Amino acid sequence: MLIAVAMFSLMDTAMKVLSAHYPAVQVTAMRALSSLPLLCAYIAYRGAFGRILKVRWSMQIFRSVLGALMLTMFAFGLSNLSLAEAYSIFFIAPALITALSVWVLKEKVGAPQWCAIVVGMLGVLVVLRPEGTGFLSIGGLAILGAAACYAVSAIASRILSRTDSSESMMFWYLILMALGGIAMSYSQWVPVRSEDMLVLVGLALSGFFGQLAITEAFSRGKASIVAPFEYSALAWGVAIDWLLWHTLPDGYTLLGAAIIIGSGIYLVRHEAVHSEVQSECEHP
């Protein structure tokens, strides 16, 4: 999970660099297109091309639209915020997933979990600057919107995984997201500069290996143990911001991040304890 977070942090850095020269929707298309060759090679290596045709198109399209919106808003947010600020706001996603699971998946969420979700939202407000001048900035709202799309996409993925293979989910996610990104950015497409080719290679490699690492992490370890390591992204964000852009997060960002991370870890741990108790009741 630590490797996955490091890879995704490098991927987000590449997106932030590209978003300074290209429209956000074009960055979304470039993100998907750059990863397709590696994914196709991986699927061919696993001999899984036969499984990518058996899909639920409605859910695949819905999930891909959410993915395109998520990446576009995240890329736009990164053009206005530091990595540390963006990550701090995006950390609200686990709480949003928990809240959505009640209405969509009919899962039970108790009062302590709802309290943790509310605390997490208060943490987001802290990061968004409650003193007035920077409150609810356009960049912050874009990242919050990206987190919401990610949360809905995660719920859709859980539903889709009941019928579709992981290879088909990854393949059609990138294909449809690339087509959507190209369609939305066609009228304002900016020719790709030769000096950005290395950035695109880094974007493809970091995104691909990050996906492999996170899949391996959750397949080998308990989610309650693995998931909290995702918050190490904040350390990467602070380090990269300082090395490349010579900026450091302020007190509001660090305080809000601490509140959001605390609520997120509580939700993950609470789910682990609930699952263990339920398992013991079912298998005494």
CA distances, 134 to each of 129, 131, 138, 220, 254 (Å): 5, 7, 9, 42, 16
Question: Is 281's pLDDT higher than 50?
Answer: no
pLDDT given for residue 105 in this prediction: 74
- Say yes or no to pLDDT of 135 above 70: no
Tell me what pLDDT residue 284 has. Answer: 47
DSSP 105-146: S-----HHHHHHHHHHHHHHHHHT-TTSTTTT-HHHHHHHHH
Is 202 a residue whose pLDDT tops 70?
yes
pLDDT bucket at 237, cuts 50 / 70 / 90: very high
CA 15 to chain centre: 13
d(CA 110, CA 130): 29
pTM of the model: 0.86
Domain ranges of the chain: 2-282
Q: CA Rg, the chain, in Å?
A: 19
23-37, 94-108, 121-135, 242-256: least confidently modelled range: 121-135
pLDDT at 131: 59
Return mean pLDDT, the chain: 87
Q: What are phi and psi of 104, to 5 degrees?
A: -90, -50
Confidence band of 277 (pLDDT split at 50, 70, 90): very low
pLDDT attached to residue 230: 87
Distance between CA atoms of residues 234 and 213, nearest Å = 18
| pLDDT single digits (tens) 60-91 | 999 999 999 999 999 999 998 999 999 999 99
pLDDT at 148: 94
**3-state secondary structure (DSSP) of residue 214:** helix
